[in-house]
């Protein structure tokens, strides 16, 4: 598996945060919003990451996020989504947004991903 970051944070800040916590090596590509507002919606950020990663086979991709914007952005880009409850969103928000799967913690997410249950 490859891990890509699609964040609403400005891309330079996202990169700095990853570097500060020594996490950058885990990500194949980092995509974020722009300061000029040209890429501010989550769907646009996800599309940017997909384009830059040259990902053509959407069934092999899953968006993992903690807010409705992550789920809505995934839907707008025709990819599956997993809502996680260890972030800022809650189960109701993620379910209402249409998450394909909702997990409670990292252990449950890891178990789901490692058992090959993708696509959802």
Give the model confidence (pLDDT) of 56-82 as tens digits: 888 889 999 999 999 999 999 999 999
Predicted local distance difference test score (pLDDT) of residue 108: 93
Residue 38: φ, ψ to 5°: -70, -20
Full set of structural domains in the chain with CATH: 1-56 (3.40.50.1000), 57-120 (3.40.50.1000)
- Predicted TM-score (pTM) above 0.85: yes
Residues of the chain with pLDDT under 50: none
Identify the pLDDT of residue 18: 98
């Amino acid at each position: 598996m490859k891990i890509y970051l699609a964040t609403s944070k400005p891309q330079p800040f996202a990169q700095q945060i990853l570097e500060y916590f020594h996490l950058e090596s885990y990500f194949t590509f980092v995509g974020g919003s722009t300061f000029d507002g040209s890429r501010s919606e989550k769907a646009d950020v996800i599309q940017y990451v997909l384009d830059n990663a040259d990902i053509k086979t959407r069934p092999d991709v899953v968006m993992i996020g903690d807010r409705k914007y992550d789920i809505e952005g995934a839907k707008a880009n025709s990819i599956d989504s997993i809502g996680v409850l260890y972030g800022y969103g809650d189960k109701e928000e993620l379910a209402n947004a249409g998450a394909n799967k909702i997990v409670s913690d990292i252990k449950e997410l890891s178990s789901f991903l490692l058992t090959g249950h993708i696509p959802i």
